[in-house]
Amino acid sequence: MSTFTELNRQYFDKQASSYNGDFRNVLETIYNQVQSRRSWISDIWNDTETGKDPEIKVLEYACGTGAVSSALAPFVDKVVGIDVSEEMIKQYNSNAKETGFAGKMAGYVGDLFAESVPAEISGPEFQDFDLVAVSMALHHFDKPEFALKRLGERLKKGGMCLIIDLVPEDKHSPHAMGHAFPEANATIRTHGFTAEHMQKLFESAGLSHKVDYCVIEEPVVFRKEGKEISKTIFIARAQRT
Ligand SMILES: C[S@@+](CC[C@H](N)C(=O)[O-])C[C@H]1O[C@@H](n2cnc3c(N)ncnc32)[C@H](O)[C@@H]1O
């Protein structure tokens, strides 16, 4: 594991138990956006004509407590969550139980960006996904371009990639998130992604069909330790060619 990933692992291990409470507003927005844009994200769901595959599989990478996973679990056969933080994975698996999806939703500790990916997350059940989603985590990755390549390789041909992340700040307050939450600052590599940046990242990962980027109009509010900050986020998709 790289030093930067290790920093993230340690930070999010500490945040895990309060994460759902602290970021309730953000998680609700993500959940609602994913459910309401489901047909924009993909047409392969268990209630669509094109979704008649024997098994529809979703990977949520850097899943945290699993907002995207829980939003999509009703419409697929299997949801795999992977995160470097063991404490986050405990929360993910307990959320899966609480929401009644434990039968089809399971989280695993792992690092897909390691030089050699561990055998525990390399078997056939961790390949050939219909959808790979990354929510509010791309800005925590050391090398977003390399990350999207690794994630794109986990998709079936024709599978979709979904990214939810921060729209960059304007030039007068480029690192507002870091100022509000200084401890988190060290775990952030990129302070948001424009539509052009996402397009480049998708294309260099071989995800060049159906590229789209939508800004979510209503800002989300991050609240923690008595501080709060309002941020604009986007939702973007692309298809593996
Ligand atoms: C801000 S949280 C987002 C969690 C969740 N996806 C959400 O939308 O609420 C970032 C997550 O990314 C994970 N993470 C950071 N770097 C990672 C990496 N290189 N590989 C896997 N997970 C990573 C952290 O452990 C943390 O759970």
Residues 106, 82: contact at Cβ < 8 Å? Answer: no
Residues 197-216 have pLDDT tens digits of: 999 999 999 999 999 999 99
pLDDT confidence of residue 38:
97
Domains and CATH numbers, the chain: 3-240 (3.40.50.150)
Task: Using pLDDT thresholds of 50, 70 and 90, give the confidence band for residue 170.
Answer: low
d(CA 120, CA 132): 18
pLDDT confidence of residue 207:
98
CA of 22 to the centre of ligand 1 (A): 15
State the CB neighbour count (10 A cutoff) for residue 54.
5
Q: Please, which residues have CB within 8 angstroms of residue 186's CB and are 6 or more apart in sequence?
A: 7, 11
Q: Which of 10-19, 30-39, 43-52, 184-193 has the lowest mean pLDDT?
A: 43-52
d(CA 132, CA 151): 7
Residues 62-79 have pLDDT tens digits of: 999 999 999 999 999 999
Atom 14 (ligand 1): residue with closest C-alpha?
A: 62
182 vs 123, which has greater pLDDT? Answer: 123
Task: Using pLDDT thresholds of 50, 70 and 90, give the confidence band for residue 173.
Answer: low
pLDDT confidence of residue 175:
62
pLDDT confidence of residue 169:
82
Mean pLDDT of 124-146: 97
CA of 50 to the centre of ligand 1 (A): 31
Task: Using pLDDT thresholds of 50, 70 and 90, give the confidence band for residue 58.
Answer: very high
Atom 26 (ligand 1): residue with closest C-alpha?
A: 64
pLDDT confidence of residue 228:
87
d(CA 237, CA 214): 9
d(CA 203, CA 198): 8
| Tokens at 33, concatenated | 């956006």
CA of 141 to the centre of ligand 1 (A): 9
Task: Using pLDDT thresholds of 50, 70 and 90, give the confidence band for residue 82.
Answer: very high
CA of 48 to the centre of ligand 1 (A): 30
The whole-chain average pLDDT of the chain stands at: 94
pLDDT confidence of residue 174:
52
Task: Please state the atom number of ligand 1 nearest to the C-alpha of residue 2.
Answer: 19
pLDDT confidence of residue 179:
73
d(CA 63, CA 88): 8
Amino acid at 30: I
Mean pLDDT of 145-155: 97
Is residue 224's pLDDT more than 90?
Answer: no
CA of 83 to the centre of ligand 1 (A): 6
d(CA 28, CA 31): 5
d(CA 177, CA 6): 20
d(CA 91, CA 64): 8
pLDDT confidence of residue 182:
83
Is residue 225's pLDDT more than 90?
Answer: no
Residues 22-42 have pLDDT tens digits of: 999 999 999 999 999 999 999
Q: Please, which residues have CB within 8 angstroms of residue 197's CB and are 6 or more apart in sequence?
A: none
Mean pLDDT of 222-240: 92
Atom 9 (ligand 1): residue with closest C-alpha?
A: 64
Please state the three-class secondary structure of the chain as a single string. CCHHHHHHHHHHHHHHHHHHHHCHHHHHHHHHHHHHCHHHHCCCCCCCCCCCCCCCEEEEECCCCCHHHHHHHHHCCEEEEEECCHHHHHHHHHHHHHCCCCCCEEEEECCCCCCCCCHHHCCHHHCCEEEEEEECCHHHCCCHHHHHHHHHCCEEEEEEEEEEEECCCCCCCCCHHHHHCHHHHCCCCCCCCCHHHHHHHHHHCCCCEEEEEEECCCCEEEEECCEEEEECEEEEEEECC
What residue ranges line ligand 1, CB within 6 angstroms? 5, 8, 12, 27, 30, 62-64, 67, 83-85, 88, 111, 113, 135-137, 140-141
Task: Please state the atom number of ligand 1 nearest to the C-alpha of residue 19.
Answer: 9
Is residue 176's pLDDT more than 80?
Answer: no
